[in-house]
Structure 1
């Protein structure tokens, strides 16, 4: 086993409070810290101003204030090719991808990491993510059979292991997460105490970076042509409305293109890329919205495969496909081919192909796979039972 001590750290600085405090903490602990601002998108708003320019100014101010070098790097091309283009392709096919997870894998812990190691001879990088590793801050294992585990942050509400579930082991061995043991309130307090009050008060960025302040249907409509289709009632098979493209909608979303006086509030339970049909059901808790089983691609296991996975045995884990939904106990089976079957201990609402199923074992984030298809819904199962009962009756 080779143990490596980190000294020179390139810290990603975004202009926000999390990355600012991360850089400050590392500097206080005696690391040689270099601040690196990454530009991934250059869209300007209606006033001709690019929000990235404001963020860069804030990031530069932070570095000057805490006394570390500031540098910038442009990854617009890489982001377009590796994140945005696949995002559009998936949306056009009816899937709903998660660009934040892809960005972490391809950009922040891919090209950013390689740039830091090559251009600055860094030992590691650091980010403002709320997460921890099994080896702490000061030492990392390199070329070891032990491996590094990705662990949940102390602040359960801010924990971001969900978005880090696709990063490879080789990257995790070169990463520090200074905020892993801090609460968000503590991070803001530190920023204010060291003279970064303006950064601490800054509104936190939310949502997909390239959408900005625009409504998502307006944004996606700039890149994908309308493809009209029908809205179909799941129980009757009746066409009850129309739409301008399945890429505007996601599963579980309330849809307004129907006669509410007749059906009440309706929600999307499925989309068909071949016919462009959207299937809806009345009521937010209709059984057609819930599934107990789904399939994923072979997961990226961050450290190592769960015991028994290679032998196609039952693996008792936990999973979630939305960050702010608590993990649900599940059984994971490796199927023939490149598929994994996930059986949930309780039905989950609006399981969505294209999203990531993220797997946990207690505090450890094991990795994730892309959801490829759903199993039968509770409504499908109920209908099957009715058919079987009727056949027996005759």
Structure 2
């Protein structure tokens, strides 16, 4: 029989500072940090001093029931902090028909806290998640866009409601998550930051926030998760520790194995929607949105290729399910006004490639906007709109409303409205903006060029040959 996840807070005695060998506080050179992650410690006197200093620091660590958050809590515990594990329940499995793993994840998170001998709390943000994340997701799909709920969830739930709960209700000095990311602050600097409730404004005062904190890519560039953190506030970043920032995923798994966290180590990594999990997404969406039947239309000759149940079930770049055809066709565009989904007979069809897009008002993490962009109205940087896609060189052009035009050095495949364009300079994540408009595709440009060249050829044919 599985463990029952407690519905109310279970708060055992605060952890004793000496249960795990404490490590030094702050970001040390990578070899030293890796050695400390394995369990090495410095001199006995130095270690004892650090333990006494760290014991007064209270950290609320988000625990999800996965290996990353489990190891994050373990590393914080070993540094000697008073760690509390907090599981966020943000989806009610009774709301719909599909299976939801939230109860099992809660049990796994509770077992991690038991193993580490730290307090465990469960908090519910089901209403907040519905109002500020899921409703937004449905609205975006209805508009023909493809949203990214993980980015929105981090902004509104983990780094807003969870942050304030930890600070105001638990008296935490900092929060921590299992994201593969880093900041420009050492741990000790995080504890020195004041937690200030700032009024919500459309614009951030450029001169109000001094010594801004930068969001930096994790050491494991393949697992780097700054993409999902690109909308969080400066206030949240100042109070956040990312214990896995200097580690690789393989090393995190080794730490979990060495410390007996086998029940989370063998779990399959979640790839579904934030807090909702993996499921048949078409059936899931059709529980909330009315079917909107329409046609699949060839982008080349406008021939009807088949029918679909709704434009919101397809995103640009994905394979279209067309019965009776030998070759694969791919979604290249959508027309919400007619319900048509345009398809092309190749995964790399030129209709899938574009080199221009426009965002909504960009959320800049450290400097709003960057001084170079303000001064020159243009700025070179890199961007991606999908996690783990290769960074693409681009030029940003600043608009008066705070949005930007993004011009790519070379066309990218399947740029998708509703996704976030996330910007980078070196290893710094600058921020992100939602993609609202796209420039013409390479195919449209080719067709336009052909039309322009057509009349010229006819005129040439009319010229009488010289005698």
Class of the TM-score when normalised by the shorter of the 2 chains: over 0.9
Structure 2 CA distance for aligned equivalents of residues 47 and 92 of structure 1 = 21
Q: Map Cα deviations across residues 200-254 of structure 1 (whole Å, 9 max, x no partner).
A: 2222222214554421111111111111112211111222222111011010111
Aligned-pair CA distance for 1:142:
3.7
Tell me whether 1:289 sits opposite 2:382 in the alignment.
no
- Aligned to 2:288, which of 217, 223, 227? 223
Conserved 8 A contact 2:108-2:263: no
Q: What residue in structure 2 maps to residue 133 of structure 1?
A: 183
Assess, with a 3 A threshold, how the Cα gap between structure 1 residues 210 and 216 changes in structure 2: closer, same or farther: farther
Structure with the higher fraction of residues in strand conformation = 1
- Aligned to 1:333, which of 383, 397, 419? 397
Q: What residue in structure 1 maps to residue 16 of structure 2?
A: none
Conserved 8 A contact 1:243-1:257: no
Aligned-pair CA distance for 1:49:
7.4
Q: What residue in structure 1 maps to residue 40 of structure 2?
A: none
Q: What residue in structure 1 maps to residue 174 of structure 2?
A: 124
Tell me whether 1:180 sits opposite 2:245 in the alignment.
yes
Gapped regions of structure 1 (runs ≥ 5): none
Structure 2 CA distance for aligned equivalents of residues 221 and 160 of structure 1 = 30
Assess, with a 3 A threshold, how the Cα gap between structure 1 residues 360 and 7 changes in structure 2: closer, same or farther: same
Structure 2 CA distance for aligned equivalents of residues 82 and 46 of structure 1 = 19
Q: List structure 1 runs of 4+ shifted beyond 6 angstroms.
A: 45-49
User: What's the TM-score, normalizing by structure 1?
Assistant: 0.93
Q: Map Cα deviations across residues 302-350 of structure 1 (whole Å, 9 max, x no partner).
A: 0012233224622000000011211100000012445310000111000
Q: What residue in structure 1 maps to residue 422 of structure 2?
A: 358
Q: What residue in structure 1 maps to residue 216 of structure 2?
A: 151
| Aligned 1:273-284 pairs, distance under 5 A | 273-284=336-347
Conserved 8 A contact 2:271-2:278: no
Aligned-pair CA distance for 1:24:
1.1
Tell me whether 1:253 sits opposite 2:336 in the alignment.
no
Aligned-pair CA distance for 1:283:
0.8
Conserved 8 A contact 1:217-1:248: yes
Conserved 8 A contact 2:403-2:433: no
- Aligned to 1:83, which of 118, 130, 133? 133
Structure 2 CA distance for aligned equivalents of residues 19 and 241 of structure 1 = 45
- Aligned to 1:22, which of 72, 76, 79? 72
Deviates more, 1:205-214 or 1:184-193: 205-214
Structure 2 CA distance for aligned equivalents of residues 174 and 377 of structure 1 = 43
| Aligned 1:24-39 pairs, distance under 5 A | 24-39=74-89
User: What's the TM-score, normalizing by structure 2?
Assistant: 0.79
Structure 1 CA distance for aligned equivalents of residues 372 and 454 of structure 2 = 41
Tell me whether 1:376 sits opposite 2:426 in the alignment.
no
Aligned residue pairs total 388
Tell me whether 1:106 sits opposite 2:191 in the alignment.
no
Structure 2 CA distance for aligned equivalents of residues 369 and 209 of structure 1 = 19
Over aligned residue pairs, what C-alpha RMSD do you find?
2.0
Q: What residue in structure 2 maps to residue 315 of structure 1?
A: 379
Give the SS at the match of 2:187.
coil
Q: What residue in structure 1 maps to residue 406 of structure 2?
A: 342
Q: What residue in structure 2 maps to residue 208 of structure 1?
A: 273
Conserved 8 A contact 1:240-1:259: no
Conserved 8 A contact 1:312-1:335: no
Structure 1 CA distance for aligned equivalents of residues 264 and 308 of structure 2 = 43
Give the SS at the match of 1:170.
helix
Greater Rg by CA: 2
Conserved 8 A contact 1:94-1:246: yes
Conserved 8 A contact 1:211-1:219: no
Give the SS at the match of 2:93.
coil
